[in-house]
Amino acid sequence: MSEQVDQLSAPAKVAACDVVPNRRRGGDIRVVLSPKTVASTSGFMGTLTLAPGEYVAEHYHPYSEEFLYVVRGRLTARIEGAQTIELAAGEGLMVPKGLRHRVWNDGDEETHAVFHLSPLAPRPDLGHVDTEPLPQSGIAEPVPDVGGPR
């Protein structure tokens, strides 16, 4: 096998603490495993940390399903502006592609969750559509670039 094939098919490890957090959409979002970081081809995964009262602004993914799993704390999700779903540690939620959703921490302790989106959008800029003002829109942070296949 060539060295390039070995690199693309080798397991890849990334620590969330080594990823720069993005706070533009709310909370602490870290895209850990993605086409850009590990040359994934089917989706991307990351972590979300929300302090009490923090939220991630409403958005949708036109090409991807989003999977959320609460590791610690509580999370509330609003789907399509009406349905509210409460999640506790050890519970997960799948948001079908195209559905608007917003998540927040209305508890009194920090919430830690893991998210995964799949399949990938044709281009990173097509993967996420914001539908409400961003809580940190004045911060000069780039939109998370999950990157395309390498």
Let me know if residue 141 belongs to a domain. Answer: no
- Over the stretch 37-53, which tens digit does the pLDDT of each residue have? 999 999 999 999 999 99
134-150: pLDDT as tens digits: 876 554 444 455 554 43
- How many domains is the chain partitioned into structurally? 1
Provide, for the chain, the percentages of residues in helix, strand and coil under a 3-state DSSP scheme, each rounded to the nearest 5.
10, 40, 50
Range of the domain at 42: 3-130
Residue 10's CATH number? 2.60.120.10
The whole model's pTM is what? 0.84
**CB of 66 closer than 8 Å to CB of 96:** no
Instruction: Say which DSSP state 63 is in.
Output: S
Condensed to tens digits (0 to 9), the pLDDT of residues 94-112 reads 999 999 999 999 999 999 9
Query: Is 135 a member of any domain?
Result: no
Coil/strand/helix, residue 86? strand
